[in-house]
Amino acid sequence: MNDPLASWHADTRVLHDDDAFADGPDVVPPIHYSATFRARDAADFADMAGRPRHPAYYTRYGNPVHERVAAILAGLEGTETALLTGSGMGAISTAVLALVSAGDHVVAQTRHYMSTAKLLDEVLPRFGVETTLVEQSDAEALRDAIRPNTKLIMLETPANPTLVLTDLAAVAPMARARGITTVCDNTFASPLNQQPHALGIDVVVHSATKLLGGHHDLTAGAICCSHALAEPIWRMHTTLGSVLSPMDAWLLLRGLRTLAVRVARINASALELARWLQQQAQVERVHYPGLESHPQHALAQAQMKGGGPVIAFAIKGDYAVTSRFVAALELPKHAVSLGGVDSLIVHAAAMWAGTMNDAQMEAADIAPNFVRFSVGLEHPDDLKADLARALAAALRERG
């Protein structure tokens, strides 16, 4: 659905890739707030009921607003099509469960979004699917983990908490040569910064709750892939039922209109702030793919157009100092999530304390003095001033 428009820039595509679906005088499309849709006649009903991914039969199967959002996302990711789900986890669970069966093996990363890790570690084994977790920065190790029954390679880059990257162009061909399907979670980058499909990845999944929606107001997910893969994934979707409401699909469509300008601004601010943080005496280390000091900076340059919203950094202090620093900030809100208009910050060790013990946190690189900062659209000078004040306040109280 995207090829004829391939010459447009992303800035234009987010506004016009869905023009073909306009059917009224509206400049802004209506919210098709309907769970079910009327047939014109018997033949039309037979078509609606029998055609997979019909956009106006029953909203769990599809919705006219979904169709517009999907056209834009498929265009941005360079895939034939896209499916929408009610959350990022809805997208990931649906795609994974559609692609594996009992007896299959999955290769995945040691670092994944926590709920993805649970799907791989806790849910799949209950259905007879085994997963091998591999250090993602080592493409050779990913290849060595492949077994004759490996069906799926699950990837995510950049990944929490230290923004480690996976070399997509190295992994994709070795999977393809063996007939293994690759899935990449592209949430932290967005298609503006990274296009996994162009590097050979089969299925690109998103938490559209983050950069794509961009305003911290909706929960949504997306699966971008070929028509051939969309078919079984859509069938699983109609069974699992992770449905995106027409209202949230419409909010997502509105968010997408500004995606290109938001991501450009967020990339620039985040890089500026990452460089600035690196120079602060109270900061121990900064992880950001756009920084020359990132251990995989060359890979970041090759595979990403921008570093995205998330900076992880450690401050020179213990858990208590880090807690005080986060509490002292006025601009970044103390909240999980990322990629929206508001800057958000979380104290990583506090975030994962309820679900991991100390040994697990150490294994996952989550130091007690570590924060995850999602840069929003505030002016970077104002963010710097706030960060500087909070760092000084947190460390002053230490004595």
Identify residue 7 by its one-letter amino acid code: S
Q: Which of 57, 61, 188, 250 binds ligand PLP (CB under 6 A)?
A: 188
Work out whether 109 is an interface residue with ligand PLP (CB under 6 A): no
Q: Does residue 196 interact with ligand PLP by CB under 6 A?
A: no
Q: Is the dihedral of CA 297, 301, 304, 309 positive or negative?
A: positive
Out of 11, 47, 58, 60, pick the active-site residue.
60
The yes-or-no answer on residue 60 being catalytic is yes
Residue 146's nearest CA partner among 105, 177, 184, 118 is 105
Burial of 275 (0-12, 13-18, 19+ CB in 10 A): middle
- Which of these is catalytic: 17, 185, 202, 248? 185
Give the residue, chosen from 55, 88, 161, 196, that forms a contact with ligand PLP under the rule CB under 6 A: 88
Which residue of 59, 87, 136, 369 would you call a contact of ligand PLP, by CB under 6 A?
87
From 2-10, 206-214, 230-238, 359-367, span contacting ligand PLP (CB under 6 A): 206-214
Q: Is 185 a catalytic residue?
A: yes
Q: Of residues 55, 191, 196, 221, which one binds ligand PLP by CB under 6 A?
A: 221
Cβ 185 to ligand PLP shortest distance, Å: 5
Please select the residue that binds ligand PLP; options are 77, 185, 202, 248, rule is CB under 6 A. 185
89 binding ligand PLP? (CB under 6 A): yes
32 counts as binding ligand PLP under rule CB under 6 A: no
Check 57, 61, 113, 288 and give the catalytic one. Answer: 113
- Tell me, yes or no, if 57 is annotated catalytic: no
376 touches 329 (CB < 8 A): no
* Binding segment toward ligand PLP, per CB under 6 A, in 85-93, 147-155, 272-280, 356-364: 85-93
Stretch that binds ligand PLP, among 87-95, 189-197, 327-335, 353-361 (CB under 6 A): 87-95
Q: Token pair for residue 112?
A: 């994944």
245 sits near ligand PLP (criterion: CB under 6 A): no
Q: Which residue is nearest to ligand PLP (CB)?
A: 88
Partners of residue 156 on adjacent β-strands = 185
Rg (CA), the chain: 21
Q: Write the DSSP string, 255-321.
A: HHHTHHHHHHHHHHHHHHHHHHHHT-TTEEEEE-TTSTTSTTHHHHHHH-SS--SEEEEEESS-HHH
**153-172: which residues touch ligand PLP (CB under 6 A)?**
156
Q: At what angle do helices 380-396 and 319-328 cross, to 10 degrees?
A: 140
Based on the residue annotation, tell me whether 147 is a catalytic residue of this protein. Answer: no
Q: Taking a C-beta distance cutoff of 8 angstroms, is the pair 121, 131 a contact?
A: yes
CB of 310 to ligand PLP, least distance (A): 9
d(CA 62, CA 77): 20
Nearest to 285 by CA among 267, 324, 264, 311: 311
Measured CA to CA, the distance from residue 31 to residue 58 in angstroms comes to 15
List of residues contacting ligand PLP (CB under 6 A): 87-89, 113, 156, 185, 187-188, 207, 209-210, 219, 221
Q: Which residues are catalytic?
A: 60, 113, 185, 210
